[in-house]
Structure 1
Amino acid sequence: MSVLPLVFTSGWASGVNAYALVLLLGLFGAAGVSDEIPQTLQRPEVLAVAGALFLCEAVADKIPYVDSVWDAAHTVVRPLAGAWVGALLAGHSGSLSDVTAGLVGGSTALASHTVKAGTRMAVNASPEPLSNVVMSLAEDFGVAGVVTFAMFHPLAAAVIAAVLLAGGLVVLFLVVSRIRRFLRRRAQRREERHLAAREGGPPG
């Protein structure tokens, strides 16, 4: 069976939380849950680094505005991690070109990262203080659930990841459109107040 569904799911998960993806895949491979996991991801030093960085992200991801800075710093890291994991999975299975898997994993990770970073910026503008915590926990459990499901049902997990990615892109588009409309209305009101002030002023 082609490893493409697992590559796609891994790419989606990498864009949300790359360290959680590497940690989960490595642990599943070490525990013998799946034969699809390459030895590189199971190495103790890889698991240790992924675990430490996952803990850092778990904290940063729940603090307003700190999460956006963290996301900005990972704009390159997450797609590269998705491409790296995809290439490793393809090389291990031998059923898919490493280059193709890298492109699929990297591009999918970039798309899901864009959704995550964009929605987080919108959440930061929300007055509810628990929004970041709720979003972060939902993302963590979502990645854990989908990646775990992919170990047993890779094709179904890929479908779920695709639906989540498509839904996230739609939500992001709607949020960005709403913000743009708000900014246009605010600029228009400022211009109207400026014109009204000029017209009501003393004659030149």
Structure 2
Amino acid sequence: MFAALTGMGLSAAAGLNAYIPFLVVALIARFTDYLTLPQGYAWIESWWAIGIGAVLLLAEVVLDKIPAVDTVNDAVQTFIRPSMGGLIFAATSAAGNLDHSTWMTQNPWVGVVLGIVTSGLVHGGKTLARPAINAGTLGFGAPVASTVEDGASIGLSLVAVFVPVLVIVLLVALAWVLGWLWLTVRRWRRRRDRRTAVA
């Protein structure tokens, strides 16, 4: 049960930023005994994987804060974020010290599918909300929204690993915030368009 909650939280975090949960899992597995990845996923904590993940994270953090470029980045990430969500879900749900669920260990495909779906849903929400934020704020909202998303990805990743019971609460809150933000910016844009049409 805890492994599934951890996997869901990390997959949702990957929907916001693919590389943050990857690096959180890699660094915790590499430097602590809290998380022991199974043999098939041990490459995640290798120095080369951590190095590549860090470079990709740096590129993602920069590109995601530039209006219009962030939309192109989201289009590219449509394939990467769900894949990373599936990978991280499968790796952590198979980690024996998180959960002693033999069913999840014997059926790793379930973790992959759940990770892809969870990450894909969050990525879809982000992809829909970001153009509305950019248009509604004339691009000034892109760096703010991106920074909030990165912070949420870090927080969700850490909670998923260390306090997985809270993952459900955070996922509901994340869905509410994304929906509220999208609706608020849409309303603001409609008002602005009406004022422009009248003038």
Deviation at 1:129, TM superposition (A): 4.6
2:77 maps to which of 74, 79, 100: 74
Higher RCO, Cα 8 Å, sep 6+: 2
1:13 Cα deviation from its structure 2 partner: 0.5
CA offsets, 1:29-66, max 9 Å, x none?
11216225452321111111110000001100000000
Q: How many residues align?
A: 183
Quick check: 2:28–2:35 contact (8 Å CA) kept in 1?
no
**What do you get for the CA RMSD once the two structures are aligned?**
2.5
Q: TM-score, normalised by structure 2?
A: 0.80
1:35 is paired with a residue whose SS is coil
Q: Note the residue ranges of structure 2 that are not aligned, 5 or more in a row.
A: none
Q: Flag structure 1 segments of 5+ consecutive residues without an equivalent.
A: 190-204
Partner of 1:103: 113
Preserved contact between residue 20 and residue 157 of structure 2 (Cα < 8 Å): no
Helix, strand or coil at the partner of 2:155: helix
**45-54 or 87-96, which moves further after superposition?**
87-96
What is the TM-score normalised by the length of structure 1? 0.79
Q: Distance in 1 between matches of 2:76 and 2:113?
A: 21
How far apart in 2 are the matches of 1:143 and 1:37? 21
CA separation in 1, counterparts of 2:43 and 2:176?
31
Cα–Cα, structure 1 residues 113 and 170, in superposed 2: closer, same or farther, change >3 Å? Answer: same
- 1:154: how far off? 0.8
Aligned to 2:146: 136
Matched, 1:157 2:160: no
Decide whether aligned partners of structure 1 residues 176 and 98 sit closer, same or farther in structure 2, where only a CA change above 3 A counts: farther
The question of whether the paired residues in 2 share the 8 Å contact of 1:86 and 1:102 is answered with: yes
Name which of 56, 59, 62 aligns with 1:56. 59
Q: Once structures 1 and 2 are overlaid, which stretch shifts more, 1-10 or 156-165?
A: 156-165
**Structure whose alpha-carbon radius of gyration is higher:** 1
Could you give the per-residue CA deviations for residues 81-107 of structure 1, whole angstroms, max 9, x where no partner exists?
111111122233362131111111110
Give 1:57's aligned amino acid: E
Q: 1:79, 1:107 within 8 Å by CA — same for their partners in 2?
A: yes
Matched, 1:41 2:44: yes
Partner amino acid, structure 1, of 2:155: G
Secondary structure of 1:75's aligned partner: helix
